[in-house]
Amino acid sequence: MLTLKQDHSELVVLSVLSTGPSYGYAISKDIANRSDGHFKLSPSGMYPLLTKLEKSGLVTTSWEEVKAAGADPESTGRRRKWYTLSPKGHKHLSRRIEHHRQVQSILDGFVPQSFPDELANG
């Protein structure tokens, strides 16, 4: 299991939202599924991040009442908070991707391409 740092979490969440609106639980499942279980974003990582994105205007939100088919009409039902990437968020993601690629590229200049571990044994 590869735990995501916040920087990467934000990049991944924004990327997921760039394909369409979603909500916390679905995003976390999406991340787990699309990474074959390698990436995980727990509730304590997800919700503060989504709140931060909302506060900074990168996403807009709306509540959906998810009522079961045979549910008591008086019941509150389950609430689902949808997150939609705003135009500002779109631009932000664009810059973030560019930044990400640049870091990657420079990093590749330092990390040895081939690194024989065998040298260390003996």
- For its own copies, the binding residues (CB under 8 A) are 2, 5, 7-8, 11-12, 15-16, 18, 31, 34-36, 38-39, 87-88, 90-91, 93-94, 97, 99-100, 102-104, 106-107, 109-112, 115, 117, 119-121
Instruction: Tell the smallest beta-carbon distance from residue 68 to its own copies (Å).
Output: 32
Considering only residues 6-65, where is the footprint of DNA by CB under 7 A? 6-7, 9, 23-26, 29, 42-45, 47-48, 50-51
Nearest Cα to Cα of residue 87 among 60, 66, 51, 50: 60
Residue 44 partner contact from DNA, its own copies, none using kind-dependent CB cut-offs of 5 to 8 Å: DNA
**Closest approach of Cβ 78 to its own copies, in Å?**
27
DSSP-derived pairing of the beta strands 59-66 and 39-40: unpaired
Are 13 and 96 contacting, i.e. CB atoms less than 8 angstroms apart? no
In this structure, the strands spanning 78-85 and 22-23 are antiparallel
Q: H helices within the chain, ranges in order? A: 6-17, 24-34, 43-55, 87-110
Measured from the CB of residue 27, what is the shortest distance to its own copies in angstroms? 11
